[in-house]
Amino acid sequence: MEAMRVSFLSTTPSLVSLVPLPSLNSYPVGANRYLTRAGAIRCTKTETDHVFGEYGFHRRDALKCIGATVGMELLASSGSWVEMASAADLIQRRQRSEFLSSIKDTLSKAIEGNPDVIPSFLTLALNDAMTYDKATKSGGANGSICFSSELSRPENKGLSGAVRLLDDVKNEIDSYSKGGPISYADLIQFAAQGAVKSTFLAAAIRKCGGNEEKGRTLYSAYGSNGQWGLFDRNFGRSDAEEPDPDGRVPVWEKASVQEMKDKFKAIGFGPRQLAVMYAFLGPNQDATEALLATDPDVSPWVQKYQRSRETVSQTDYEVDLITTLTKLSCLGQQINYEAYTYPVKKIELSKLKL
């Protein structure tokens, strides 16, 4: 209690205001001896009755001041806990960032060694996410497409080779992961990201006459690498425990443009997103884009992205594709932002040799 009393008195001046004193000249000389003390202390406006002592100090005012002081002391004492929480958060962020960087390197090598798998990686990511149903909040980008019963469906024809390659990639990633195995849900979407980046880079190299060095420089200077921040943060998807319901994904090669629009609308997308994702709708990308151009709703967007791809930076096309893929890759997911983190081994200072 003694410590509390000292703390209260030390902080009271910052919590209350001094009541201004009338001019000494307005009082008789004999009364001046009562006004030589410090001004009367008040926390709030007081009435003229029910006060304690000559300073006009209410009991409720004292309680308010004490409560505020105790609260300030509690906040001050909690500072160390806040600092510890912030440090732990920074450690987890670094762990996830380093792990994600390693994943991207592994996927990049796999794509570079198997460039023919790029269209399959794109369709795999699309079809895995397209099982999302807004009404029941089920399905989505949950890795369920890797179940054999779902992978064997007509809409997923030709994707088994991509899944086998991802199995090999997953084994390699899991071998160096310190925070547990990577989910297929994450792996599929980041494989699509790697495939998209590969197509962006390939376009830059073509614009430089096939000169890879100049193409990489062009892509670094004008490309869209800086637009992937939100996609990268959405890292920590959970895998499904069973295949998603059948009949939710069209066979893109056989679907009409209206069927495609209806399916995209069902997950919250429109003609713009359909046009920008033409490369995800099966292996024959040119034929798919030509078909989309016949629809009056989709055609303006097809033409817009065709013009964009002819420019040096492809800005409109690349930014819109990244934005759409980011949204698609999170359908049906609650991202675990602590996924793949792990406890840090404590250093016993007593055992250090100085």
Separation of alpha carbons 237 and 346, rounded Å = 29
Distance of CA 343 to the CA centre of its chain: 22
Phi, then psi, of 135 in degrees rounded to 5? -65, -45
* Joined tokens for residue 39: 């001004």
Closest listed residue to residue 141, CA positions, set 186, 111, 174, 175 = 186
User: What pLDDT score was predicted for residue 266?
Assistant: 96
User: What pLDDT score was predicted for residue 10?
Assistant: 42
Separation of alpha carbons 290 and 278, rounded Å = 10
**pLDDT exceeds 60 at position 46:** no
* Joined tokens for residue 262: 């209806």
**pLDDT exceeds 50 at position 171:** yes
Separation of alpha carbons 76 and 238, rounded Å = 39
pLDDT band (50, 70, 90) for residue 212: very high
- Where helices occur in the chain by DSSP H, the ranges are 2-15, 59-77, 79-113, 118-129, 148-151, 160-176, 184-207, 212-222, 229-233, 257-266, 271-276, 285-292, 299-309, 315-328
pLDDT band (50, 70, 90) for residue 41: very low
**pLDDT exceeds 70 at position 279:** yes
User: What pLDDT score was predicted for residue 169?
Assistant: 98
Separation of alpha carbons 322 and 328, rounded Å = 10
Percent of the chain with pLDDT over 70: 73
Place of tokens 């992978």: 151
User: What pLDDT score was predicted for residue 88?
Assistant: 73
* Sign of the dihedral through C-alpha 183, 187, 188, 190: positive
Separation of alpha carbons 246 and 151, rounded Å = 11
Q: What is the mean pLDDT of the chain?
A: 83
SS3 354: coil
**pLDDT exceeds 80 at position 48:** no
pLDDT in tens, 51-109: 444 445 555 665 555 565 555 555 555 555 455 556 678 999 999 999 999 999 999 99
